[in-house]
């Protein structure tokens, strides 16, 4: 697969990951937890294709940031295993948030890639977009996790609108990033 085709694939998978990520808005665990896994897997696939497509244009830090992003499903599995071992005690301690860590690690990798993209400029335009796209969910996940764990699993109902807004922004920015990658790679393929 050529580099523009890999970048186009990455864009399409980022858009699909946004759809899976939107399941977090349901607030219903039988939908949101599998959606968390699916979004982490799709983000890992998108970042793998992005890494392969831009491998000559990004430096060591950018490549490794995308590897961190590709590890999201691994962190999801670790969270699930931890929950299985701890059982109800983990829920009571607020550690159930670990089930939603996969996308947070994937998007943290995208955020770090975005920081390196500001200087290496691998994309033809909008090199700030990966940073803007990646930062939303990891920040809210960290803040929410600290709150939830420090309160021993007491769910912060008062912050649900903020969390929902953050997830909607995350979905939108993933779609925008995916669309830009598809559009830029289509132009590059037409020129080749």
Residue 57, CB-side half-sphere exposure with 13 Å CA sphere: 18
pLDDT at 159 (0 to 100)? 87
Angle 124-63-47 (CA atoms, 0-180°, nearest 5)? 75
User: What's the CA gap between 110 and 129, in Å, rounded?
Assistant: 10
Q: What's the confidence (pLDDT) of residue 68?
A: 95
Report DSSP state, residue 70: H
What total of structural domains would you count in the chain? Answer: 1
pLDDT of residue 13: 98
| Domain boundaries, position 12 | 3-191
Q: Report the alpha-carbon distance of residue 5 to residue 10 in Å, rounded.
A: 8
Q: What is the pLDDT of residue 172?
A: 98
CB 79 within 8 Å of CB 104:
no
pLDDT < 70 stretches in the chain: 192
The confidence score (pLDDT) of residue 67 equals 97
Q: Which residues of 176-185 are buried (b: 16+ CB within 10 A; e: fewer)?
A: bbbebbbebb
User: Contact, 170 vs 178, CB < 8 A?
Assistant: no
State how far the Cα of 184 lies from the Cα of 171, in Å rounded to an integer: 20
Answer positive or negative: Cα dihedral of 141, 177, 68, 36: positive
């Amino acid at each position: 697969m050529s580099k523009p085709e890999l970048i186009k694939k990455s864009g399409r998978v980022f858009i699909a990951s946004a759809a899976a990520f939107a399941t977090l808005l349901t607030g219903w665990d039988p939908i949101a937890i599998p959606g968390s896994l699916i979004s982490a897997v799709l983000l890992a696939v998108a970042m793998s294709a992005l890494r392969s497509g831009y491998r000559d244009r990004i430096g060591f830090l950018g490549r490794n940031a995308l590897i961190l992003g590709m590890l999201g499903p691994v962190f999801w599995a670790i969270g699930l295993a931890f929950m299985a071992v701890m059982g109800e005690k983990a829920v009571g301690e607020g550690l159930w948030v670990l089930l939603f860590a996969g996308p947070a690690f994937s998007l943290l990798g995208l955020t770090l890639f975005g920081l390196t993209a500001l200087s290496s400029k691998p994309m033809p335009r909008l090199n700030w977009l990966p940073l803007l796209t990646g930062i939303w969910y990891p920040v809210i996940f960290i803040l929410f996790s600290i709150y939830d764990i420090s309160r021993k699993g007491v769910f912060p109902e008062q912050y649900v609108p903020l969390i929902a807004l953050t997830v909607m922004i995350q979905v939108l920015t993933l779609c925008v990033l995916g669309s830009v990658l598809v559009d830029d790679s289509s132009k590059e393929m037409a020129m080749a």
